[in-house]
Amino acid sequence: MYGNAFIDPNDPRNKQEVEESQELLDAFQAKIDNGQKIEPSDWMPKMYRKQLTRMIEQHANSELIGALPEGTWITRAPNFKRKMALIAKVQDEVGHAQLLYNAAETLGKSREAMLNDLMIGKAKYSNVFNYPAETWGDIAVIGFLVDGAAIVNQLINSKGSYGPYCRALKRICAEEAFHLKQGHDNLVALAVGTPEQRQMLQDAVNRWWQPLMHFFGPPDKQSVHSEQLMRWKVKLASNDDMRNQFLDQYVPKILELGLSIPDPNLRKNSETKRWEMSDPDWDEFYRVIKGDGPCNKERLAVRRWVKEHHQWVTDALLRPERVRTVPLA
Ligand code: COA
């Protein structure tokens, strides 16, 4: 058991043991419809618990794995100021994982189980972190556009129905706002830099565009969980709505820097006010999220290495009786 918030679903005192009657389900839905938050000790349908665990766990995993592509650039940052900012950002991302694992634990799954499921490839994390950060241009694109996409998603999710997740997201969004400034500053420096720097940035935008379009999940008509999650106000916007919001906010910012977007069909329909675009390669999306992206194996190898070499830190903190102490001479 980790932290005070862990709720043991096998504990008979846990209200989850109460059978799921229609009356309970209706009262639960009414609470959500009235805008009340669900807290860990409240009764909740098994499926709500399962869905929330899945989503928060995937989100926590994304923050943890998300630190890796940027982390590889800490030693290669172009100057000391950029290196300091990147170190702080990477540290924040791992802190976000910590907040989110805490929130997921309130639903009954231990952190150890979550980290194990991540390591063995059973649990998912965001598609975008399975691509390499090839140049410093990628760091600018991750800082501004990937974090920008994450903010769109997280601001929406922060208004959802599960208290611990929303509170974690409010804090995360505040920190992400700094990341966005860091990313924008980086992006502008390259966009107004030498022709080589502009080209490096444009190449990065070209490489990241499709993973960014995938980031918000499959089109609404293919989304498996949206309908149920929206009824429970866990999701407050559909995948397509979030993608549309991202395009509204970020396409003008990319174009005003004189950069182009690698989709000749991208345009806003003035009547529907919706963006139209080429259909991203959804086969690639499903391949990547099932473990066959360019960096999946590398990312999970890092988690295995951490487990092998740093298990003693976890043991020292949580199971001191297992740590072998060497008597002082
Ligand atoms: N990366 C990896 N997997 C993704 C994904 C992405 N960008 N988008 C969707 N998927 C997966 C879903 O997890 C689901 O798989 P599962 O059933 O095995 O869990 C499948 O694709 C079908 O998608 P959908 O039914 O639309 O899932 P969803 O309703 O959960 O919506 C998100 C997907 C990402 C929008 C939603 O889960 C979410 O907002 N998550 C929290 C925020 C987050 O994780 N952000 C990423 C890092 S900042």
Give how far Cα 309 sits from Cα of 98, 110, 213, 302, 306, Å: 20, 21, 36, 10, 5
Of all atoms in ligand 1, which is nearest to the CA of residue 218?
26
Give me the CATH number covering residue 256. Answer: 1.20.1260.10
Residues 112 and 242 in one domain: yes
Residues 167 and 201 in one domain: yes
State the average pLDDT over residues 63-81: 97
* Distance (Å) from CA 189 to ligand 1 centroid: 33
260: exposed, middle or buried (C-beta count within 10 Å: 0-12, 13-18, 19+)? exposed
Q: Residue 4 — pLDDT band, cuts 50, 70, 90?
A: very low
Q: Residue 160 — pLDDT band, cuts 50, 70, 90?
A: very high
Indicate the top mutation candidate among 51, 125, 127, 224 to test ligand 1's pocket, ranked by most ligand atoms within 8 A of CB. Answer: 224
Residues 50 and 27 in one domain: no
Indicate the top mutation candidate among 152, 153, 208, 225 to test ligand 1's pocket, ranked by most ligand atoms within 8 A of CB. Answer: 225
For the chain, what is the mean pLDDT? 93
Residues 32 and 50 in one domain: no
Give the residue carrying structure tokens 């675009």. 277
What kind and span of H or E run contains 226? Answer: helix 226-231
β partners of residue 162: 38
Q: How far apart are CA 211 and CA 269, in angstroms?
A: 23
Instruction: Give how many domains the chain has, as a whole number.
Output: 2
More confident residue, 326 or 67: 67
Residue at 234 is within a domain: yes
Q: Whose CA is nearest to atom 10 of ligand 1?
A: 217
The answer on pLDDT for 1 being more than 60 is no
More confident residue, 1 or 201: 201
Domain of 6 in residue numbering reads as 1-36
The answer on pLDDT for 179 being more than 60 is yes
Residues 23 and 165 in one domain: no
Residue at 205 is within a domain: yes
Q: How far apart are CA 77 and CA 87, in angstroms?
A: 10
Q: Whose CA is nearest to atom 38 of ligand 1?
A: 55
Instruction: Say if CB 114 and CB 218 are below 8 A apart.
Output: no
* Distance (Å) from CA 233 to ligand 1 centroid: 15
Residues with CB under 6 A from ligand 1: 54-55, 58-59, 62, 124, 126-127, 150, 153, 157, 214-218, 223-226, 229, 235, 239, 289
* Distance (Å) from CA 289 to ligand 1 centroid: 9
pLDDT of res. 20: 85
pLDDT of res. 11: 58
Residues 220 and 313 in one domain: yes
* Distance (Å) from CA 223 to ligand 1 centroid: 9
Indicate the top mutation candidate among 231, 283, 289 to test ligand 1's pocket, ranked by most ligand atoms within 8 A of CB. Answer: 289
Residues 24 and 54 in one domain: no
Of all atoms in ligand 1, which is nearest to the CA of residue 127?
1
Q: Is 279 helix (H, G, I), strand (E, B) or coil?
A: coil
Per-residue pLDDT reduced to its tens digit, 108-153: 999 999 999 999 999 999 999 999 999 999 999 999 999 999 999 9
| Entry pTM | 0.93
- DSSP string over 150-200: HHHHHHHHTTSSBHHHHHHHHHHHHHHHHHHHHHHHHHHHHHTS-HHHHHH
Residue at 180 is within a domain: yes
Residues 224 and 201 in one domain: yes
The answer on pLDDT for 6 being more than 80 is no
Q: Residue 70 — pLDDT band, cuts 50, 70, 90?
A: very high
State the average pLDDT over residues 287-308: 96
Residue at 9 is within a domain: yes
Residues 188 and 313 in one domain: yes
Residue at 104 is within a domain: yes
Residues 268 and 229 in one domain: yes
β partners of residue 316: none
Residue at 329 is within a domain: no
Residues whose CB is less than 8 angstroms from the CB of residue 93 and which lie 6 or more positions away in sequence, other chains included: 63, 64, 66, 67, 70
Per-residue pLDDT reduced to its tens digit, 230-265: 999 999 999 999 999 999 999 999 999 999 999 999
State the average pLDDT over residues 184-198: 98
Residue at 138 is within a domain: yes
φ/ψ (deg, to 5) at 170: -60, -45
Radius of gyration of the chain (CA): 21
Residues 272 and 241 in one domain: yes
Amino acid identity of 207?
A: R
